[in-house]
């Protein structure tokens, strides 16, 4: 079974989680509002997405690594728009 892990928020914690998953041959899709955080991970094999909605749509499992409750509330609203029945 092929599982794609989506990561929203690629700062120090989310970026390191993505790196570890990529090193273990997981399929990873990610998004961060700071595009410069996505580029090195994209070069390492992560699928770079354009929005939280897109990463949620591509992922079977989602991880969020966000700086505040307010950011989590915004991201949660986007994730719910793309919710799959098996997520």
Domains and CATH numbers, the chain: 4-81 (3.40.50.720)
Contact 28, 47 (CB under 8 A): yes
Q: 0.85 exceeded by the pTM?
A: yes
Q: Is the pLDDT of residue 87 over 80?
A: no
Instruction: Please indicate whether residue 19 or residue 80 has the higher confidence score (pLDDT).
Output: 19
For residue 3, is pLDDT > 60? yes
Instruction: Please report, rounded to a whole number, the percentage of residues in the chain having pLDDT higher than 90.
Output: 83
The Cβ of residue 80 has, within 10 Å, a number of other Cβ atoms equal to 10
């Amino acid at each position: 079974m092929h599982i794609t892990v989506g990561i929203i928020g690629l700062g120090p914690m989310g970026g390191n989680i993505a790196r570890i998953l990529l090193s273990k041959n997981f399929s990873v899709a990610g998004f961060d509002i700071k595009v410069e955080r996505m580029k090195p991970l994209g070069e390492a094999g992560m699928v770079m997405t354009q929005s939280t909605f897109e990463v949620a749509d591509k992922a079977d499992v989602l991880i969020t690594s966000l700086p505040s409750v307010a950011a989590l509330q915004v991201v949660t609203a986007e994730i719910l728009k793309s919710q799959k029945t098996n997520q």
